Chains A and B, each alone.
Chain A
């Protein structure tokens, strides 16, 4: 078969241009080899809200007929390579149009390569990636996730580094020579060409076994048919319910829709210091996703099934360092922080300090004009 397809999973808005550059780069490079190609986004994954998992695809082929098979698909499966532009996406993606949590390797072909932008080791990443049930390969491009804004682009070479690494892991799609020549044409920048070459030289893959990976069963549910769905576009209000947590009696826990969670949108999460919290209610009032459960003793516990990681609670909390947004990479579960704190306050304090201090900082993308130029200058 002469067709090759690449799935690019990215964080909505923040990485839209990045994903587009990668997909276009693949098609331009394939064109150098006389192939034809298409690059497309599936905007059912949109409207792109900050951080929402979204996808673009690039398909290259020798014939129009083969390409057409892909163009008519909503989400091509059996991709030769899946690129994850941010390692926190490895926990699974639930985009606007996806009903349930989709493992990052779900649409990857058997023996295909998952290429992740990450500073973490392959071994660590494998622990959070769901088991595929088929062998595949894992490769990383060592970098912190590159986040931009909708109208501004942080040109830190992540795009060309991924293209270089892609040529290494899937030379049958595009060769490194074609990639370098396409980059030269598109950007007319020798530094970007050099970055791609270096990424090509550095890239290596490690095999992942069929049964290797996280055992978590990804959250899913059945979509109702028209005979069962309530007529008139009605969604019933959710009943408030007590939390199924020991010691959680009283307080207030809003009812949450079991079929609509947003946690895969999150790249950071709030870590809360209950020892300094004054119970002022501001986080609870201002959270755009009504994440805060009120504990029996009147604390505000951010529910990690609902939190999209926007950082508003950190911004509004009047107590210094009471809420700190921490890289999502530091966490393995969505458990209640209040529950952990209530059980063992000393242990919680140690846990909290460790989470806050050890993890690499993350950004929420674009804040001010000139920001990316400053960041790139600081990094190099």
Chain B
């Protein structure tokens, strides 16, 4: 049973133009992924920088390139509620927000994971208000990290497009059925246009099967109730199911990357990217577009013969514990750069640093971990900042620097 109807695209336009290059931003890349995934229902509510996706989706619809139910809601809460219900009746959905907009939808965010609805969202990462800053911080998306959402961060527009397709495949897989948020750093990704390979419809169709809820589809022909009231006699078992789904996601993600690499000839390693990590003695770790200045600096330091590498965390949930243990075994010291904060947390660290500490604790010969907070509110993290961080990390490895505290980089005293 699948009431999904065929889409009615503009008959004058070729249905499939083949894989081709376009000069597009990260937001536009996500909109292309929605078009190629033939998403049925999209809801929108404007907030910068996520709103750029809204504009591109609206443009595609008005140009006749894309047919979907496009609803501009009256708030983020409704925006996420509408797609939640649409997902339950069998529609493939897309939604998104930024900063406090994402927080305004928080109730809907929590229930979506509980209901195991495979919503795919784009978070255009933005600092939380107040003050009303527009630049990137990761605390918005990270707030749902323990609720069952899968979370990933991307570095380029190409990766945004490809990862959105992966997100649909993984989220909708019957073994998983969990929502997934793709984080795109405000400005550095959402407002930067690069040349992107836009895959053909045929390629995408071969990679991404249609969304099929089977007998869990809310439909008059399939009378079911979802989301009843339940108390302590039921709840813990439900949570355990959720936990198992989150565990199973790992294998499904690995499968998806294998298939993407095979069919698209790109995609790389699931979960993490290892950059110049062979023989690295000092490893830096971070997420999102922070990778750009870090890679520039790592190349410069490598040219000077310094054994420095970088691990970019691509998936934060499920957290790549095994991959990080593997990538960081044998290094002397690790410097974690958080573009987020964890006020009052252990070691006053950002979220990534403390997750990584926990992940490496059981490792044999675990490295020293120095933690840094940088680039808040979209402040530029320069290659020089990264060189400074690398030096401090080396000091932590040699015991010359207290590794039980967190250092803020680039903050005015």
Contact = CB atoms under 8 A, between A and B. Distances in A.
A39 B413 contact: no
B188 A46 contact: no
Interface in B360-413: 378-383, 411-413
Contact of A44 (B130, B134, B293, B413): B134
Contact of B412 (A27, A43, A69, A223): A223
B193 interface: yes
A52 to B, nearest CB: 13
B192 A40 contact: yes
Contacts of B379: 74
Contacts of A46: 48, 134
A189 interface: no
Given A44-B135, A47-B134, A72-B383, A31 B412 contact: no
B23 A43 contact: no
A47 B411 contact: no
Contacts of A123: none
B218 interface: no
Nearest to A229: B412
Given A43-B49, A73-B380, A24 B193 contact: yes
B193 A72 contact: no
A43 B48 CA distance: 9
B238 to A, nearest CB: 41
Given A44-B187, A72-B289, A225-B413, A39 B296 contact: no
A43 to B, nearest CB: 5
Nearest to A75: B380
Most chain B beta-carbon contacts within 10 A, residue among A37, A42, A44, A223: A44
A227 interface: yes
A352 B288 CA distance: 56
B193 A38 contact: yes
B413 to A, nearest CB: 4
B191 interface: yes
B48 A68 contact: no
Interface in B149-163: none
B292 interface: yes
A71 B299 CA distance: 15
A28 B289 CA distance: 24
Contacts of B195: 27, 31, 36-38
B280 to A, nearest CB: 18
Contacts of A233: 130-131
Interface string B169-188: 00000000000000000111
Interface in B115-166: 130-131, 134-135
B412 A40 contact: no
A226 B192 contact: no
A227 B413 CA distance: 6
Nearest to B193: A39
Interface in B268-304: 289, 292-293, 295-296, 299
A51 interface: no
B296 A68 contact: yes
Contacts of A92: none
Interface in A58-80: 65, 67-69, 71-74
B23 A28 contact: yes
A171 interface: no
B82 interface: no
B194 interface: yes
Contacts of B131: 233
Nearest to B378: A44
B188 A71 contact: yes
A38 B195 CA distance: 7
B23 A27 contact: yes
B134 A38 contact: no
Nearest to A69: B296
The 5 closest A-B pairs by CB, nearest first: A72-B292, A225-B412, A40-B192, A74-B380, A72-B293
17 contacts: A27-B193, A27-B195, A38-B194, A41-B187, A41-B192, A42-B191, A43-B48, A43-B191, A44-B187, A47-B48, A65-B299, A69-B383, A72-B296, A72-B382, A74-B378, A223-B412, A226-B412
Given A43-B134, A72-B293, 15 more contacts: A24-B23, A27-B23, A36-B195, A37-B195, A39-B23, A39-B192, A43-B48, A47-B48, A68-B295, A71-B289, A72-B289, A72-B296, A73-B380, A223-B412, A225-B412
